[in-house]
Structure 1
Amino acid sequence: MKGYWIIFGSDVTDTEAQQEYGRLWAPIAEKYSARLKAPNAQTFIETRDTRRVVIVEFPSYAQAKACYDDPAYQQAMVLALRASSREMIIIEADLG
């Protein structure tokens, strides 16, 4: 089964931090064969701060966890958390 990060985020409030995160994320994504899978439509029904949903697909749950634990990602994550508020879960599934 595949692994997924599902990220629920607020609006981006620091665009410079978001851009730097994107720059750092690119080689990390390549290393772990991560692919962004943004939903086509988003309807937020029961939420307080979520304005964006991002789904990141990995070939396996183990790779999803390893990517999160990678020191390079941990450094990049600081910028992501500066750019916006977010919550993330890691799941094992086959979302198609």
Structure 2
Amino acid sequence: MTAYWLSVYREIFDQAKVDAYARLAGPALEASGGTFVARGLPEQTYEAGEATRTVLIVFDSVDAARAAYDSPAYQEALAALDGGARRDIRIVNATS
């Protein structure tokens, strides 16, 4: 079943580290089968109203998304991020 990886950047502390992470993370996640669906700041917010960077990636399954996170290439990207941001990452099944 299709799964979605949702990253919400709660706070960015070091933009240079976020940029270094992004240069490595995009190719790593795509090589693991991920397809970027959306990324950037919201065009509109409701309720909590948090205008924070959000990334949505689709994978073939929850297992594929987990494997992407655990992959050596993505772990290298995380090392580059090195505390440059506080994020919330969730992997959820698509509904049928």
| Deviation digits for residues 12-59 of structure 1 (CA, Å, limit 9, x no counterpart) | 331211111112113312311212222763414226x76222111112
| Superimposed CA distance per residue, residues 59-93 of structure 1 (whole angstroms, 9 cap, x where no aligned partner) | 22221011011132123123335232111111111
User: 2:43 — aligned with what?
Assistant: 41
The Cα RMSD (Å) is: 2.6
Distance 1:54 1:36, change over 3 A: same
Identity of aligned residues (%): 30
Q: For residue 12 of structure 2, give the secondary structure of its aligned residue in structure 1.
A: coil
Q: What SS does the corresponding residue of 1:51 show, helix, strand or coil?
A: coil
Farther off after superposition, 84-93 or 33-42:
33-42
Per the alignment, residue 72 of structure 2 pairs with 71
Give unmatched runs, 5+ long, in structure 2. Answer: none
* Count of aligned residue pairs for this structure pair: 94
Verify the 8 A CA contact 1:9 1:50 in the aligned structure 2. Answer: no
2:52 corresponds to which residue? 51
Structure 1, unmatched stretches of 5+, are none
Q: Which of the pair is proportionally richer in strand?
A: 2
Residue 6 of structure 1 aligns with which residue?
6
- Contact 1:9-1:51 at 8 Å conserved across structures: yes
Mean alpha-carbon deviation: is it higher for 83-92 or for 25-34?
25-34
CA distance in 1, matches of 2:46, 2:82: 21
